[in-house]
Amino acid sequence: MTAVRLKGGLPAFPRMIGMELTETGTERIVGTLAVREEITNGTGAIHGGALMAFADTLGAIGTLVNLSDGMATTTMESKTNFIAPALVGMVLTGEATPVHRGRTTMIWQTRITREDGRLVAIVTQTQLVMPARGG
């Protein structure tokens, strides 16, 4: 696996929710997210939107590190299956792997698990591959 450095690190929103990258490569992207009160749904469990944002970021990074020069990406479609809750104080791990890496689209699947190994969510997203602005 090739380790890849992101120019400028994570964007502002993933940093704001507390996401951290632990592995970036062309075949696998891994990150963590600590469940804090600020990203819960009011019942002490992580908000589904926070889970989706976490996974979306990992899949987008997977596409970014596989792009040719002069190309960019944006999410076209995302599907989330919520399986188990993650409560305040838990640290989640997301692992994104490619399902398809084509010329115009890439599909990534992200598995989000708790520290005890329980599956929290599976997210499958399609990323559009397009010319970068000004490129």
CATH code at 70?
A: 3.10.129.10
Residue 32 domain boundaries: 12-131
Q: Tell me whether residue 6 is in a domain.
A: no
| Residue-level pLDDT at 9 | 84
Q: Tell me whether residue 3 is in a domain.
A: no
| Residue-level pLDDT at 4 | 58
Nearest-CA neighbor of 105 among 129, 132, 74, 72?
129
Mean pLDDT score of the chain? 94
Q: Tell me whether residue 77 is in a domain.
A: yes
Q: Tell me whether residue 119 is in a domain.
A: yes
| pLDDT digit string, tens, across residues 44-91 | 999 999 999 999 999 999 999 999 999 999 999 999 999 999 999 999
Q: Tell me whether residue 107 is in a domain.
A: yes
Q: Tell me whether residue 127 is in a domain.
A: yes
Q: Residue 45 phi/psi, 5° resolution?
A: -105, 150
Q: Is 35 exposed, middle or buried (0-12, 13-18, 19+ CB in 10 A)?
A: buried
The domain tally of the chain equals 1
What residue type is assigned to position 76 of the chain? M
